Structure 1
Amino acid sequence: MSGEFTQWLADWRQGDLSARDRLVDALYPELRAIAQRQIGGERAGHTLQATALVNEAYLRLSGLDRIEWRDRVHFVHMAARVMREVLVDHARRRSAHKRDGGERVSITSIDLADGSGDDIDVAALDGALVALERFDAEKAKIVELRYFGGLTIEETAAALDSSPATVKRHWQVARSWLFEALADQR
């Protein structure tokens, strides 16, 4: 089936919108699971639902005409990144209307260096990931693939053409880095 995804991506790149639709239909359960994981960490009563998050990400992704899709993992990574952007945009809009600072996300599933699961402002998390990307793009990509994309160590290693041991080591460093970067938020 992996070959099918790659072919659909190539066909989409050539302008075949039905290939894009087949790809999204085939990946919808995985995209919805990613959305549920991302929203699952949000505060109680969060107004954005997983279906709406997937739909918004789909709209944004379908507007990316110039992207050179490589494979299913690349597509899922980009979808996870777009979902993160949607959540951050949503949090910023809410925080503009509220005095208390907006949306918070539990980062238990990132499993920070101290094992904390404190709530972190989603905009602060995004800012920390942007800073991590400037500091070390590979570690930031690992966080996106693991946390936002839901990939395993082995899948992440394959996506980055790296060894699982290297990914695991970089994942541990990235978690520690995020813990330090977000220390002021707790």
Structure 2
Amino acid sequence: MAEITELIGKARGGDPMASERLFATLYDELRRMAAGQLRGDPGMRATSLVHEAYLKLAHHGAVEVNDRSHYFAVAARVMRQIVIDHVRSRAAVRRGGDLRFVPLDTTAFQAVASERDEEVLALDAALVSLAAVDEKLAALVEMRFYAGLELSEIADVQQRSERSLKRDWRRARAYLQRELTAE
């Protein structure tokens, strides 16, 4: 990850070779994250997700990230946007169905693969609500649910204790469950 930080600095300084190497490294990391999320699903879905995420990152200035922590946050947000866009387009074709709760012990990709689109959309709306209340908790949910990072990985990235992240994870889940069951 030190290489990523170094490449970010060089790319921000205008070095085109560093920018190309940075994107290649970011692509590999995104592929690893997506493959981990989509275990058991056909590889083409992971590849499609990574290609879309990579294109978004490359097209919208991924060299604007500051450090490793920021990179993971941006990657998780991009993956969330791609999943939600995919679900919305699929839901536009067919409306209706019972709204069921998306358990947060699964991942967004597993929910999408199971065609639980309304659940994913309801979770996204609850996540927007959570972000308005506590942006750090919403970022934690994105990293767990959309990027598939374990709390230990997030603790390393954010340089926080795993214990405090577990406490935040419980708070975030409680908030989202309350939002999803209120009506």
**Is the Cα–Cα contact under 8 Å of residues 107 and 119 in structure 1 kept in the other structure?**
no
Q: Find the counterpart in structure 2 of residue 86 from structure 1.
A: 82
Decide whether aligned partners of structure 1 residues 97 and 70 sit closer, same or farther in structure 2, where only a CA change above 3 A counts: same
Partner Cα separation in structure 1 for residue 48 and residue 176 of structure 2: 28
Alignment size in residue pairs: 172
Q: CA RMSD in A?
A: 3.3
**Is the Cα–Cα contact under 8 Å of residues 110 and 175 in structure 1 kept in the other structure?**
no
2:57 matched to 1:61?
yes
> What are structure 2's unaligned runs of at least 5 residues?
108-115
Decide whether aligned partners of structure 1 residues 7 and 151 sit closer, same or farther in structure 2, where only a CA change above 3 A counts: same
Q: CA deviation at 1:184?
A: 5.7
Instruction: Indicate the larger mover: 136-145 or 147-156.
Output: 147-156
Q: CA deviation at 1:161?
A: 4.1
Q: Find the counterpart in structure 1 of residue 148 from structure 2.
A: 150
Q: Find the counterpart in structure 1 of residue 12 from structure 2.
A: 13
- Give 2:25's aligned amino acid: A
Partner Cα separation in structure 1 for residue 22 and residue 62 of structure 2: 17
Q: Find the counterpart in structure 2 of residue 74 from structure 1.
A: 70
Q: Find the counterpart in structure 2 of residue 134 from structure 1.
A: 132
- Give 1:87's aligned amino acid: V
Partner Cα separation in structure 2 for residue 64 and residue 16 of structure 1: 17
- Give 1:4's aligned amino acid: E
- Give 1:9's aligned amino acid: I
- Give 1:129's aligned amino acid: L
Partner Cα separation in structure 2 for residue 105 and residue 16 of structure 1: 47
2:149 matched to 1:168?
no
> What are structure 1's unaligned runs of at least 5 residues?
112-117
Find runs of 4+ consecutive structure 1 residues off by over 6 angstroms: none
2:175 matched to 1:177?
yes
2:45 matched to 1:49?
yes
**Is the Cα–Cα contact under 8 Å of residues 37 and 148 in structure 2 kept in the other structure?**
no
Partner Cα separation in structure 1 for residue 12 and residue 126 of structure 2: 32
2:98 matched to 1:99?
no
> Helix, strand or coil: the match of 2:96?
coil
Q: CA deviation at 1:28?
A: 3.5
> Helix, strand or coil: the match of 2:80?
helix
More helix by share: 2
Q: CA deviation at 1:40?
A: 6.1
Partner Cα separation in structure 1 for residue 182 and residue 63 of structure 2: 36
Decide whether aligned partners of structure 1 residues 170 and 99 sit closer, same or farther in structure 2, where only a CA change above 3 A counts: same
> Helix, strand or coil: the match of 1:109?
coil
TM-score (norm 2): 0.75
Decide whether aligned partners of structure 1 residues 147 and 95 sit closer, same or farther in structure 2, where only a CA change above 3 A counts: closer
Instruction: Indicate the larger mover: 55-64 or 155-164.
Output: 155-164
Decide whether aligned partners of structure 1 residues 123 and 95 sit closer, same or farther in structure 2, where only a CA change above 3 A counts: same
